[in-house]
Structure 1
Amino acid sequence: MSDEADAPFHLRALDHLVLRVADIERSINFYCDVIGCTVDRRRPEYDLVHLRAGTAMLDLVRHEGGASAGDNVDHFCLQIAPFDEAALLAHLAQRGVRTEPPIAQRYGAQGTGRSLYLRDPDGNRVELKEALQAE
């Protein structure tokens, strides 16, 4: 296990989790009425709705035919600071972790900021996103 001091960033928080759902409106009703989320933003061009879940987001994306258990998480996102692109890419490459290019501006719990995607050893998709608010 590597020492946290080796990383060119610090983990700040869970930013968002993306779920694949068969019926977005049904899921909105469940997560808002039962769990207490609120609709933050609708993105019909992607069949996507961002729900506010405290300081994080829960994103719902329509998935044709729904998704089977274990296949319904698209990815999760972790906020990191600082987001030094060169240092981050070098750190990941040094550990044999390939990223899914490109680094781009993406929406999350704190707004739009730079992020990149990678896969963990089991193939789970992880997004690392710059923390936009000071600690």
Structure 2
Amino acid sequence: MIKHLDHLVLTTANLSACTYFYTEVLGMQKEEFIGGTPPVKRLAFKFGFQKINIHEKGKEFLPKATLPTPGALDLCFIVSLPLADVVAQLQTHHIAIEEGPVTRTGAVGKITSVYVRDPDGNLIELSEYD
């Protein structure tokens, strides 16, 4: 029944730090659009055929999760560069690697991953397939 993930919603406590991390560090494209209830200006970070819609803590749009909370996500992204280049990019931005490189299992096989935290404390796994 499910074909693929279209978007997910991330709640942030610090919009500017969140925007910097996902656009400047991870290279996602910032998108502004009109949506929500009532329709208002929204923010998303696009990559490939997916996006992350952003809710700012205390200013969430309807409908929303029952308990929208910054720092509650654990996300894995497959990178488009060699993982060594990703690690160098993280170091350039002074992003601490919490763990890795380590071998894990992705949706379709073995992956090599490094783990970092975004400004809200979400666990971000950056991976490449072996």
The TM-score with structure 2 as length reference comes to 0.44
Greater RCO (CA < 8 Å, at least 6 residues apart): 1
Structure with the larger helix share: 1
Larger relative strand fraction = 1
